[in-house]
A and B are shown apart, each in its own frame.
Chain A
């Protein structure tokens, strides 16, 4: 069995560089999403495996961001099922999805501009903090210990993403590339089971892109975090991801390892256009 076939094995597979990918962490089954009469997503199914870097690509308006919003609970699909960790997920609010261990970043950055970098990243720990309102209000004993423990985790993330020098800076003052990195840090601080990245490299220069690539690979490698990302830059996608879903006009037109997708005629047509005789 060659590598490409083995990647369709439901039990998991081993990548070319020897990483072990597990079974399905998240499964999307026949998802259809409509806005009024407009179909944003039509009958799409795919899965995201444990430990995998999964990319969703496609031209503008293909419905990639809509798909990410379905996974993170911002949109509720009219048809289809979402399965997470072997269980069918009832329609939920975005904050409930986050509490289940799915963290995300946004295409046009959604940070708390008025808060410091440190505070922003600390909000990522909210789902992990257990003390109740009363304990927090009197700020004594458990609540205080908890804060210290979570601070330590956050400092690790800060070290990991090399943003020590801006810890106390209000986010509003940071340049674009660093904001993107802080947003990633906030998502990472939640220690997510699934990390969703909506165009993590959009609008970056080459150097920033390389940094971001390295961070994404390191996150996957060191923490074993499953990652699903949307990206425009084909080169980046092909380098990073284990498997790629290709969307066009809300439909899935390709799914498989990068090499296979690259040579898929439907994908080539969608990206380069088709000559109409």
Chain B
């Protein structure tokens, strides 16, 4: 097999893995968009906030330490405990549920029946608020997140591919974990929404508010539920991205990469978010590999958006999105 082809295979595999990461963020968007028609700009920041909280709780950081120290002249920084990864994750999940309740109480409740654009603006506000809150609570320094996920080159794949092609692929074990986790997440979310009564309530609200009310579904409860699930998905995304590249504020920008993913996959489809993520991830890596040297590189910055634009022209509802036909 020619070397070029083998390299391309490695690149596309790595692209697929990166795509899983995009898909994880996109998944959070889809969940909220489906259930409430809100494009949640804050999804990326939600992931950042979750990762910050996770690191903070795990390392026993004192929240708001800067503020407390500045006011009382104390010198607090750590409680001095170190929590096991799973405990910290469970606690963070609880914090995300609390956050979902607060978001419903303080924002969504007051914006019922408003235009989608108003709700969108509200989520932009929420995004900046959460970013600031994360900063004040846990500090702005770059943190390392280690909940015990395996990292580094996967020797098995290296060996297997070396025996096959005479060239060992470099695949990060973290990426493999992320793929497995994403698959589990999607499977359980799908099962939850298809076969449980809350899933049915969720789909009902997404479909028709009035009808949902008439069968006894509380919209407010469903919103809290949806935002909790989105918070949980954000936590998973935060763990994966945080373990990969450290918890830093640029993490919130990955939300922007989820946009082309959604345009490709469709805003209303969970499988769409996954497939869209994979296509973007693999596409941008392959494009960089083949076309990058010809046009001077750095194509990863814009390739996803151009691909999304092309899709908008030919299939505006995305690969799996619902085609919206308004009857006249």
Contact = CB atoms under 8 A, between A and B. Distances in A.
Contacts of B212: 95, 112, 123
Contacts of A96: 216
Interface string A88-130: 0000011110110001101000111111000100111111010
Contacts, number: 88
Given A111-B208, A190-B216, A139 B191 contact: yes
B207 A190 contact: no
Interface residues of A, number: 34
Contact of A98 (B195, B204, B215, B322): B215
A129 B218 CA distance: 14
Nearest to A128: B216
Contact of A94 (B197, B199, B204, B213): B213
Contacts of B211: 106, 110-112
B196 interface: yes
B201 interface: yes
A104 to B, nearest CB: 5
A136 B197 CA distance: 7
Contact of A126 (B200, B210, B219): B200
A127 B322 contact: no
A72 interface: yes
Interface string A127-162: 101010100110100010001000000000000000
A153 to B, nearest CB: 14
Given A98-B213, A143-B196, A112 B204 contact: yes
B301 interface: no
Contacts of B215: 98, 103, 123-124, 126-127, 186, 190
Contact of B198 (A94, A136, A186): A136
A51 to B, nearest CB: 23
Contacts of B322: 114
A74 interface: yes
A110 B206 CA distance: 13
Interface in A200-228: none
A139 B203 contact: no
A26 to B, nearest CB: 17
B90 to A, nearest CB: 13
Interface in B63-88: none
Interface in B180-228: 191-192, 195-201, 203-204, 206-208, 210-219, 225
Interface of B: 191-192, 195-201, 203-204, 206-208, 210-219, 225, 322
19 contacts: A95-B213, A95-B216, A95-B217, A98-B213, A103-B214, A106-B214, A110-B210, A112-B208, A114-B206, A114-B207, A123-B204, A126-B197, A127-B215, A136-B197, A136-B198, A139-B191, A147-B195, A147-B197, A190-B215
Given A74-B210, A123-B217, A126-B217, 6 more contacts: A95-B216, A95-B218, A123-B200, A126-B215, A137-B192, A137-B198
